[in-house]
């Protein structure tokens, strides 16, 4: 299929955006769900343009052909990812609060959101429930990433063991908690060069237990940081931290 000139005004930010599997680009055929959204929800027709994302940074402008066919596919660019890869470890909280946390974290630019039960988590799920919620939360992350014009698709993971989840995090680790010696987040960030990656750790509604605090304090490259004078809800704390990181480093 020949290349067709993209109208100059059309950019990824101005077009509907969809994450799609690699087979979409090979077959020049939209997945059924995307084709339905484009044709029957957005009421777009042959010749219209959309933006397709491969989830790992690839961005393509696609012109619709007949049915689910892609008539033209042209590479483009998005520069919407943070200069540092941020992973959030969120203590397992009630589903409606977890969904809020995931939406805000993806909007804020995180690379991944990991959820695991800490000692004071109010909910603990078996493997069946974990699978159900993980699929739902990954779908929410995809929708938010498309809306936020993200080039990369963040991953949502549900883990069984809090300490194992913590130890697997990229360093440095910033624990959003007010134990003794906690510096303001912005002050801590100004003391270091911009890292390639970092992690934010958020406790449950009741906070961390004394034993958890003692254990985290003993972990390498782990720092307690304060977000300011006001106490935030568990589902909004990571987003507030991301906003400060963006203000400093983006």
For 63, the enclosing helix (H) or strand (E) is strand 59-64
Span 182-201, pLDDT tens digits: 999 999 999 999 999 999 99
- What torsion do the CA atoms of 94, 98, 99, 104 make, to the nearest 10 degrees? 150
**Coil, strand or helix at 85:** strand
Average pLDDT over residues 113-125: 93
CATH class of 85-249: alpha beta
Nearest by Cα to 34 from 50, 22, 15, 18: 18
Q: Which residues pair with 73 in a beta bridge?
A: 62
Question: CATH number of the domain at 12-76, out of 2.130.10.10, 3.40.50.20, 4.10.220.20, 2.40.240.20?
Answer: 2.40.240.20
Inter-helix orientation angle 95-108/234-249, to 10°: 10
Give strand ranges (E) for 167-229.
173-176, 183-184, 197-202, 222-226
Number of C-beta neighbours around residue 85 at 10 A: 17
Q: Where are the alpha helices (DSSP H) in 90-233?
A: 95-108, 127-147, 162-167, 185-190, 210-217
Q: What is the pTM of this model?
A: 0.93
Q: Would you say residue 3 has pLDDT above 80?
A: no
Gap between the Cα atoms of 193 and 249, Å rounded: 10
Domain ranges of the chain: 12-76, 85-249
In whole angstroms, give the CA distance from residue 172 to residue 221: 5
Residue 7 pLDDT > 80: no
Give residue-wise pLDDT tens across range 51-75: 999 999 999 999 999 999 999 999 9
For residue 1, what pLDDT is reported?
A: 42
Residue 180: predicted pLDDT: 79
Q: What is the rounded CA–CA span in Å between residue 91 and residue 80?
A: 27
């Amino acid at each position: 299929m020949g290349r067709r000139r993209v109208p100059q005004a059309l950019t990824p930010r101005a077009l509907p955006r969809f994450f799609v599997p690699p087979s979409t680009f090979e077959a020049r055929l939209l997945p059924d769900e995307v084709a339905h959204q484009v044709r029957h929800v957005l009421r777009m027709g042959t010749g219209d343009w959309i933006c397709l994302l491969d989830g790992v940074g690839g961005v393509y402008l696609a012109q619709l052909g007949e049915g689910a066919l892609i008539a033209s596919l042209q590479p483009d660019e998005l520069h919407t990812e943070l200069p540092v890869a941020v992973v959030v470890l969120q203590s397992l909280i009630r589903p409606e609060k977890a969904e809020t946390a995931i939406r805000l974290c993806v909007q804020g630019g995180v690379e991944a959101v990991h959820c695991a039960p800490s000692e004071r988590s109010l909910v603990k799920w078996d493997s069946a429930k974990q699978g159900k919620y993980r699929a739902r939360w990954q779908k929410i992350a995809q929708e938010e990433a498309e809306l936020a014009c993200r080039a990369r698709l963040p991953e949502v993971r549900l883990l069984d063991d809090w300490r194992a989840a913590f130890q697997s995090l990229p360093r440095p680790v910033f624990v959003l908690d007010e134990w003794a010696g906690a510096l303001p987040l912005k002050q801590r960030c100004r003391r270091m060069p911009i890292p390639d990656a970092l992690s934010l750790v958020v406790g449950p509604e009741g906070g961390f237990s004394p034993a958890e605090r003692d254990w985290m304090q003993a972990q390498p490259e782990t720092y307690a940081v304060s977000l300011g004078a006001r106490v935030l809800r568990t589902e909004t704390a990571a987003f507030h931290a991301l906003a400060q990181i963006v203000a400093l480093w983006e």
